[in-house]
Structure 1
Amino acid sequence: MADSKYEGIDRRALLRDRREHRARVAQRLTREAPVAADCLPWAAFDAAPDWLAWPDDALVLWQRRVGAVFCAPALRRWIDTARVTALRSALGDGFYRSLLRADDPMAVATLPVGLPDWPLNGAPSEIAPLLRGCGAAVLVATLPHGGLRHAVSQALAPLAELMMPAAHAQALVKRASGLCAGAAVAAVQACASMPSATAADAATAAGAGTEAGTVIGGAA
């Protein structure tokens, strides 16, 4: 009996989470792509990826980080102090360090034909929007063709549509998720190694490593 009771509680929690997810996705798409969203059935909102239901700040940060993984080969060549500082600010220091330490996760992930090469001479203020645009393009490419992808593309306004297989885009997203997790772990370890470190310090460090707790969960 006890098992049945807990199973019921879990099922109710699952249904509640599903409704909340659907409502947040519907709210975002209705706000940012109203015409396309109006054509979607409820099943499409249910099938939407977790990141589409995240708060605005977390989703923007996630897009930048996915974009940074996509552009990693070019970003690792940057030496200009102002642009590097802007890049660290756009990604969070922990993620930036993890990105530089990682081996090239996708040697074949280059900007698609028709887009300019990464603007190495661009202004620092352009870096965050460009990363977000690249990340949005990758995230859209993870979705199957259809109404949901069309609505998400309108909502995120990617830099351009990427002509890449969904599996390729999903690998980039998975890599970004792993770097988020690595950045959080490194932040906790660094804090814990300090003589005055406390459990609260470690928790604060973990938050600094991800910049948004939801960025790790459900990202893959």
Structure 2
Amino acid sequence: MTFTMMQAPWPPEVVGRLNAYQAVGFFHPYTCGGNHDGTPPSLVATPEGWVCPDAGCTYTQDWAHTAHGDGRAAAEADILADMLGAGRATAGAAATAEQVATIVGSHRFSYANEHDLHIALAAILADSGFEVRQEVPLSTGGRIDLMTGTVGIEVKVNGRASEVMRQVARYAACPDITALVLITSRAAHRTLDRTIGTDGTVNGKPVTIVWISQVVG
């Protein structure tokens, strides 16, 4: 999927597709950049652009990714939902962090971007019979890429090691998460092993790092 930009104003059919994208549940929605406590609300598409649904918030945004406005992302989510099972999470037992690491570590992935990798990881876990959810809101704010039960899974193909470690620490401090799996293809992230405690924990939560080959396709 190529992520080119489209500027508002948008015709009614594009507005409808953008709002359908917001409701999909698999992908990270467009969210408000204004000052909100906790998780920022998802934006609402209008012909003039994105607006915040919160009364009193004047935040607007006049761009979106073309793929989100032409229906491709929503169609892809419907296909994934059919593949994973009913609803927006798979049926099945929650995987342990060790099971996630074993399953992911045994596969080679072909992907063009982090979005593609999310889809592939969710499908592989579902095919293995495990429950999996994507873009899960956390009680402490923000979203984590994937969860199975209370195991959080974060995917990184970019970013500095120090930034990733700060994000891992934030997730580890969240009571929703009992264990973390970091999946990364970045050679620069190999230093993270040295920043995790000798007992393999961050903020008292076990953290497992899985290195995958970056096969771009």
TM-score, normalization by structure 1: 0.24
Which structure has more relative contact order (CA 8 Å, sep 6+)? It is 1
More helix, by proportion: 1
Which protein is bigger by CA-based radius of gyration?
Answer: 1
TM-score, normalization by structure 2: 0.25
More strand, by proportion: 2
